Amino acid sequence: ATTAGSSPALAILQQYGIAVSEAARAVLADPVLAAPRPDDPRLARNATVVIATAQAALDAAAEAARAAGFTPLILSNSIEGEAREVAIVHAAIARQVIEHGQPLQRPCVILSGGETSVTVRGKGRGGRNAEFLLALAIALRGLEVVHAIACDTDGIDGTEDNAGALLGPDTLARAAAGGLDAAAMLRDNDGYSLFAALGDLVVTGPTRTNVNDFRAIVIA
């Protein structure tokens, strides 16, 4: 009989008291069929490469920004926290750029990644990127020359059918003209509905990859 010590599979069978035939035990214990160890010489030329990361996405966006004549600033590829609070910080940075030319001069693009969260208190249709943008619009208060996009790179913002949305200097004014109360909709976690009413949702469908959220604030 073979021993459990010679095979992880046999050790699991022994741990859970699962009986198998001696023939099966012999196959599981055969060292020829064992999974190779990391130092196995057969793996000497093996390499594992991650082809899509949050940083790679931000780097690509930064390169595209430079090509278009905008100076990029990557804040971080791993920002977390409440979407509306993260939005307030981004708005403050945008305002600092416009009013004081810090930490960079216009025209520029502020980029960030990571994954925010939303503490749901309302009954609206949300998504963390829609919530971020709605809070950003309120914090910017119609500040000119600022446009923004926030999307989930997998194409699905939370549980909705959009990847995210777009924001412009006129977002709040257009919402008000349509009878929408932006502050009330933020309280109700209803960012999706506001941007849907404005025709500013970004709908890509599932992208079949996910490197968390992508945010870009363009300051012309």
Query: DSSP state, 72?
Result: E
Q: Average pLDDT for residues 21-26, to the nearest whole number?
A: 91
Full DSSP string of 128-192: HHHHHHHHHHHHHTT-TTEEEEEEETTS--TTSS-SEEEE-TTHHHHHHHTT--HHHHHHTT-HH
Residue 1: pLDDT above 50? no
pLDDT for res 6 = 57
Are the C-beta atoms of 57 and 153 separated by less than 8 Å?
yes
Beta bridge partner(s), residue 113: 214
Measured distance between the N- and C-terminal CA atoms of the chain, rounded to whole angstroms: 75
pLDDT for res 196 = 98
pLDDT for res 3 = 46
In angstroms, the CA 169 to CA 142 distance is: 5
- Tokens (6 digits) for 70: 């905008």
Q: In this structure, which long-range contacts are made by residues 172-175, counting pairs with CB atoms below 8 Å and at least 24 apart in sequence?
A: 172/137, 172/138, 172/141, 172/142, 173/142, 174/198
CATH fold label, 54-219: glycerate kinase, domain 1 (3.40.1480)
What are the sequence ranges of the domains in the chain?
Answer: 4-43, 54-219
In angstroms, the CA 154 to CA 151 distance is: 9
| CA-closest candidate to residue 167, choices 147, 153, 181, 185 | 147
Q: Average pLDDT of the chain?
A: 94
Query: DSSP state, 208?
Result: S
pLDDT in tens, 42-86: 888 988 889 999 999 999 999 999 999 999 999 999 999 999 999
pLDDT in tens, 99-120: 999 999 999 999 999 999 999 9
Full DSSP string of 94-137: HHHHHHH--SSPSSEEEEEEE--B----S-S---HHHHHHHHHH
Provide the whole-model pTM.
Answer: 0.81
Cβ neighbours for 92, distance < 8 A, ≥ 6 positions apart: 139
